[in-house]
Amino acid sequence: MADQILKAIMKFLWIGKVERPNKTVVYRPVSQGGLGMVNTHLFYRSLFLCPMYKVLTGPNSPESSLLRYWMSFPLRTVLPLYKNNTVPVAVMKRPTYLQEPLHQIKQLFASSILVQGSPMVHRKTYNHWILEVTTLGKLEILRPNLDWPRIWKETAALPSNIRETMFLFNQRLLPTRTRCHRLDPSKDATCPICHQHPETDEHLTFQCPERHIVWSWLEGTIRQMGCKSSKEDLIRGHFGPIGNLRQTFTLLAAYIFITWKARNTHRIPRQEEVESLWKALFPPSPLLSI
């Protein structure tokens, strides 16, 4: 049931999208480059395990007697309550619905997620399990030199629509013509604005001759803020050691968002559009007059 629910959620989330990121990416928190999606299988598993552990370590009851009968002997080394249980029960096989929780409890103690005398918290348990199944995005693997923790942290602070565009851009999932051509060779890979070169992420942001004026303004503004990164690094949000990081990142995000929005209506982004969105996202300062 958990797998069916997850499948339905993913289908709804990515409906109409050309490409989808790996599930192991979207499970990561937004501040770490994911979407904070819940893995229903692991979440329900943690909800199932917590009350079982509470009964197992709680006062005597019919339920605790049953659990202790099956589980006390293998847990005697991690739970002092059962340290005197030195004889296993005389059965051939433990029920499968208890075998897995038994293994999980041992694993959580080994990872120090569970501590003797403390209750089990299902969210803490889930967060530990989800870390074991998450992975880096494609671009993070290809460009490990970039400061991804800061990039994702600043992305998470953006409004939802702009955050989504930056997420797709830095996951290499914006449906540029080059990307669509790779998936379907019958589709034209040429830039719809300049009609000269393949439309890649780099062409879309700083190589297209038709966007040269607005790009030159953006790059000049960010350079004056202290950025010395290459253009390829700059467009991803890697500025190096500069002040006013949030202000600079917000400017870049406004540019990426307006550029993609204008591209979808077959027009060139204007400096005034980027500045207007930038001012709306970030409080005005003297730097805005640069």
Q: How far apart are CA 135 and CA 131, in angstroms?
A: 8
H helices present in the chain, as ranges: 2-13, 23-26, 40-57, 62-71, 96-110, 122-131, 138-142, 148-156, 160-170, 177-183, 201-202, 212-224, 231-234, 245-264, 271-281
pLDDT in tens, the chain (290 residues): 888 888 888 888 777 777 778 888 989 988 888 888 889 999 999 999 999 999 988 888 888 888 888 888 888 888 887 877 767 776 667 888 888 999 999 999 999 999 888 889 999 999 999 988 898 988 999 999 999 999 999 999 999 999 999 999 999 999 999 999 998 899 999 999 999 999 999 999 999 999 999 999 999 999 999 999 999 999 999 998 888 899 999 999 999 999 999 999 999 999 999 999 999 988 655 444 44
Which pLDDT score, from 0 to 100, does residue 148 have? 95
Residues present in the chain in total: 290
Q: What is the pLDDT of residue 287?
A: 45
Q: Are 46 and 126 in contact (CB under 8 A)?
A: yes
DSSP state of 28: S
pLDDT tens, position by position, 150-197: 999 999 999 999 999 999 999 999 999 999 999 889 999 999 999 999
* pLDDT over 90, % of the chain: 57
Distance CA 45, CA 37 (A): 16
pLDDT, residue 270, reads 94
Phi, psi of 125 (to 5 degrees): -65, -45
Q: Residue 146 — φ and ψ, nearest 5°?
A: -80, 150
